[in-house]
Structure 1
Amino acid sequence: MQEHAEILFANEAFYFAFQLKDMEAMEALWAQRVPVACTHPGWPSLSGRDQVMQSWAAILNNPDNQGVAMRGAKARRYGETAFVTCYEMIGESLLAATNVFVLEDGGWKLVHHHAGPCNMPPADLPEEEESRLQ
């Protein structure tokens, strides 16, 4: 469905900005007019655009940042809200992630990202859907 393609495209753009360490692109992907939040693995939950953007600046500017590969993305839409569940590979660590989007100015913008450890990968996670952006 076209609506899911647009949501998945926004999700891919998020991981592309993450991989390229592109703070300008990361800032453009997050909603401006509604509250945002983020929970990075091992971090406390962050609320508000300033805290969330500061966290991404710290992550993207970290020289030890290993990059991220995303795969297994599935989108679900509910009116002007959508979420994507997927898996992230950071080094040898597998994380389960949820990204929540809202329609803002005609495009899908992030309002929440949450990723945490996943000790048991799903058996049906297709390797060919891996999206390693370099």
Structure 2
Amino acid sequence: MTAPHTDVEQVEAANTAFYEALERGDFEEVASAWLTPSDLGVDESYHDPADTGVVSCVHPGWPVLTGRGEVLRSYALIMANTDYIQFFLTDVHVSVTGDTALVTCTENILSGGPAPEAGEELGPLVGQLVVATNVYRRTPSGWKLWSHHASPVLAEDDDDEDDDTPTPP
């Protein structure tokens, strides 16, 4: 097996682990998926790791969040206010160049709540289609998220006929 293929598999595994941690509401694992200042050689004795702007995140409809403190607070808020979330990732593409990896995917998200107990029906769910770009950096402890950017996919409206194709008589 070639090294780049191994890198791609490792990035895919890191990306999958990130989404699975979100589904479980495991804040500690979500936090460990993100780069820390020490991962990049920033001396934390001189810089507050919560404020060092080494990571960034854009959730659909949110402004850019910069720094571990802001990014991790956003995930804590999302987890605290979401009873149930499940990601079905499609169109996953991984590209690795050196110590940086780019993952693009479509997040098919089901959310709502609460999660059903055994034998119970699932309550009302909301589906959302989101495209995401995740940038990873290689660290001594594995691939870590550097940036996450997600944007909703707008549904096509059948009533809108914005194309210039003439309608047959």
Residue type of the alignment partner of 2:134 = N
Which stretches of structure 1, 4 residues or longer, exceed 6 Å deviation after superposition?
Answer: none
Q: Is the 8 A contact 1:59 1:65 kept in 2?
A: no
User: Equivalents in 1 of 2:60, 2:98: separation in Å?
Assistant: 29
Cα drift, residue 63 of structure 1: 3.4
Q: Tell me which residue corresponds to 1:73.
A: 92
* Aligned equivalent of 1:86, options 87, 93, 105: 105
Q: Determine what percentage of the aligned residue pairs are the same residue.
A: 38
SS of aligned partner of 1:68: strand
Kindly indicate whether the alpha-carbon contact (under 8 Å) linking 1:69 and 1:90 is maintained by their aligned counterparts in 2.
yes
Within a 5 Å distance, the mapping from 1:40-119 to structure 2 comes to 40-91=59-110, 92-119=127-154
Aligned match of 1:23: 27
How many Å separate the matches in 2 of 1:104 and 1:112? Answer: 15
The Cα offsets for residues 28-67 of structure 1, whole Å up to 9 and x where unpaired, read as: 1000024000000011110000000000100111135533
Q: Normalization by structure 2: what TM-score?
A: 0.67
Higher relative contact order (CA closer than 8 Å, sequence separation 6+):
1
Structure of larger gyration radius: 2
Letter in 2 for 1:7: V
TM-score by length of 1: 0.83
Inter-partner Cα distance in structure 2 for 1:82 and 1:95? 20
Q: Which residue of 1 aligns with 2:6?
A: 2
Which amino acid in the other structure matches residue 104 of structure 2? T
> Which of 39, 56, 62 is matched with 1:37 structurally?
56
| 5+ long unaligned stretches in structure 1 | 121-134
Q: CA deviation at 1:81?
A: 0.5
